[in-house]
Structure 1
Amino acid sequence: MSRFSTSAQYTPADAVVVGAGIVGLAIGRALALTGRKVIVLEAADAIGTFTSSRNSEVVHSGIYYAPGSLKAKLSVDGNLNRLEPYCREHGVPFRRLGKLLVATDESQIGKLRELQENGRKNGVHLEWLEREEALKIEPHLHCVAALWSPNTAIVDSHRLMSEFQGDIESRGGSVALNSSAVSGGVSGGRLSLDVRDSSTGEVTHLAPSILVNTAGLQAQEVAGMLRGLPAEQVPKRYLARGCYFSLSGKPPFKHLIYPMPEEGGLGAHLTLDLAGQAKFGPDVEWVDSIDYTVDPGRAEGFYHTIRRYWPSLPDGALQPSYSGIRPKVSGPGDPNADFRIEGPKQHGIKGLVNLFGIESPGLTASMSIGDYVKDLLGLQEEPAAQSKL
């Protein structure tokens, strides 16, 4: 049942955020802390049902991203300064398991050194391990060298999203489910948005002073419906599906294991959840439409990749699990693009922020993205707002 039921309840909102994934909820929270009345709109019947619930729940340290990029700055800040204190205060499960990024043959040593230097430029604490040192940490591992990243963590993303929602609601805001943006624009310096309640068909007209488009896979669609936004401000969307396979049985590893990154992703890595169960993924498959089918035949490629760093992986140990779709703004063969977070300075429309290409490390950077958007809009957090949550 939609919570977006009457225009009288929602029309006075100062700020509307489109998309209740983890980034949209973090932005809604950041805006609520400035004293704005916030509505976060979600087309689905629950929060975080798309990209935010179809990932590995890893809190990245910031190794891979170009120095000075938004991905680098916001993920490092999110990892070191934001998520762990918040999770501790709110009882959200968070665990710094650490990860090993491995070179499985001599030809990868150069790339591993490059990643070490890239991480150093981003302010990431990394330790170089020779083979014997890595095997002391993970005896079942095969590698010739590895980088140890002690700050890589895992988090209960669903609980985290629920806490963000609670913060919004405790400040007088709301999350409106089954509520889809259908049209909008800017006229005379004023923003507008029409929203349809999918359970009743009712359309409500909103006129917020702030509109943030963080619709993830549908971000380009939402931006494209905003009359007055120049078409050149809407980048082309590319879709990359990543499949995950779960491990039957108990894994012999206590930490996350990552191979060298591949085009479009970080390689089929081993991730442990908070219960200690292992899954592998995601791989990269460029697709033309949103389809979460997991082809069991892709397991062959997983076995090949995983056995480079875990040669004793048993036959038949992998089971199809789930998939996610990365909302990318760079395509096959292109350099991996940075987050695109564009406010009034980019497109000239007061109060509007569009976010495109918010893939990994979006979860890690979520709270920092919230503050970044707040700063783009020139807003200040209310005094002692944090203590009220």
Structure 2
Amino acid sequence: MNDIEQVDCIVIGAGVVGLAVARALALAGREVMVLEREAGIGMGTSSRNSEVIHAGIYYPEGSLKARLCVEGRKALYGYCAERGIAHKACGKLIVATNAAQAAGLPAILDKATRNGVDDMRLLSREEALALEPALECVAALLSPSTGIVDSHGLMLALQGELENAGGMVACHTEVVRLQANADGVLVETADGTRLQARTVVNAAGLHAVAIAQRIEGLAQEHIPKAYFAKGNYFTMSGRSPFERLIYPAPDPQAHLAGLGIHLTVDLGGQVKFGPDVQWVDGADDFQADASRAAEFEAAVRCYWPGLPAGSLQPGYAGIRPKISGPNEPAADFRIDGPAAHGVVGLVNMFGIESPGLTSSLALGDYVANLISA
């Protein structure tokens, strides 16, 4: 056994959530090592999203997504302000472009209020256009506490705090085998390194289910099926005519696999559109699908009729790590500790999709508390 290194805590995955979990554990006095298979931090879902700070509007009352989004949003604004991380509470309009969507707005407002989002209000068409003259809608909801953040700056800050607290991030380190035992979990990496950890947190995002399937001693019944929902983004040159984010109101009958093709503005004032929902078989296709340009243009024209023809260019794509499939209600975050699966020292984080970025600090605290309980 002398070739096995003893480690207190291992976090698998150096995306924003893995880094937030590792930081929380390190600040609680634990020795933490983050293992990341890619060349750097945040190269998966964390760098391929809308960089939106969500208010906590759409999620079922009492769900982890609702609770941790609201907690995480408040924590994130404070964290970014204290540390000089670029961010902006630019606000968001959820716009109804037909009567059916308008009829659904009060229910969205009610759900948001029950989730603890207390600053939203309904707007008439005239009030919405007074805020955003380029807009077209019949009614809208204003969410002042929605914003945008520099996700890479956030991750660098989390990594810095982790390292200042004695933790470390090891990139180019793929986990290939795990074995549960009486002392925790034995972790083996692709180069043959073996680490015996008292605690292992599987925060591998798109690959969390695949990692769980490699854990000897974890029953299959505790591993959900993985689904992958690709989201394409299109960009446009020039500054945005909108100051706020513009989201189409969802169809009241639709399951929220995504939030529609929305318009977001980055911190430099550039506009981007997306994501859509394209169900795919794996987690490795990050090429924006140029053939969807016409579909995007039609969707955007519903709320921005002045979109210049042919101005959309394929940008990038991200993939949502889902544990619910097409035509199913969106699953909640699933965080399984030993009480759920019986493996000492193991926490599996499944389905950590949006609002994972917004919820990251709250997710870190949640997992740290779960481990110390």
Q: Unaligned stretches of 5+ in structure 2? A: none
Paired residue total: 366
- Contact residue 180 and residue 344 of structure 2 kept, 8 A: no
Structure 2 length-normalised TM: 0.96
User: How far has the Cα of 1:190 moved from its partner?
Assistant: 3.0
Q: 2:264 aligns with which of 263, 271, 274?
A: 271
User: How far has the Cα of 1:90 moved from its partner?
Assistant: 1.4
Deviations 1:15-55 (A, max 9, x none): 00000000000000000011111000000001000100000
Q: 1:360 aligns with which of 354, 369, 372?
A: 354
SS at match of 1:267: coil
Query: 1:87 is matched with which residue?
Result: 80
User: How far has the Cα of 1:189 moved from its partner?
Assistant: 4.4
Q: 1:254 aligns with which of 243, 264, 288?
A: 243
Query: 1:328 is matched with which residue?
Result: 322
Moved more, 343-352 or 36-45: 343-352
- Contact residue 230 and residue 319 of structure 2 kept, 8 A: yes
Kindly report the root-mean-square deviation, in angstroms, between the aligned alpha carbons of the 2 structures. Answer: 1.4
- Contact residue 75 and residue 365 of structure 1 kept, 8 A: yes
User: How far has the Cα of 1:12 moved from its partner?
Assistant: 4.0
Identity %: 52
| C-alpha distance in structure 1 between counterparts of 2:150 and 2:238, whole Å | 22
SS at match of 1:128: strand
- Contact residue 246 and residue 280 of structure 1 kept, 8 A: yes
- Contact residue 17 and residue 38 of structure 1 kept, 8 A: yes
Note if 1:301 corresponds to 2:295.
Answer: yes
| C-alpha distance in structure 2 between counterparts of 1:322 and 1:17, whole Å | 28
- Contact residue 328 and residue 359 of structure 1 kept, 8 A: yes
| C-alpha distance in structure 2 between counterparts of 1:193 and 1:305, whole Å | 47
- Contact residue 235 and residue 313 of structure 2 kept, 8 A: yes
SS at match of 1:14: strand
| C-alpha distance in structure 2 between counterparts of 1:136 and 1:228, whole Å | 60
| C-alpha distance in structure 1 between counterparts of 2:87 and 2:240, whole Å | 20
- Contact residue 249 and residue 317 of structure 1 kept, 8 A: no
Note if 1:209 corresponds to 2:198.
Answer: yes
| C-alpha distance in structure 1 between counterparts of 2:222 and 2:48, whole Å | 28
Query: 1:4 is matched with which residue?
Result: none
Q: Unaligned stretches of 5+ in structure 1? A: 1-6, 197-201, 380-389
Note if 1:32 corresponds to 2:26.
Answer: yes
User: How far has the Cα of 1:249 moved from its partner?
Assistant: 2.0
| C-alpha distance in structure 2 between counterparts of 1:157 and 1:190, whole Å | 32
SS at match of 1:179: coil
| C-alpha distance in structure 1 between counterparts of 2:214 and 2:171, whole Å | 20
Structure 1 length-normalised TM: 0.92
Runs of 4+ aligned structure 1 residues displaced above 6 Å come to none
Query: 2:185 is matched with which residue?
Result: 191
SS at match of 2:316: strand
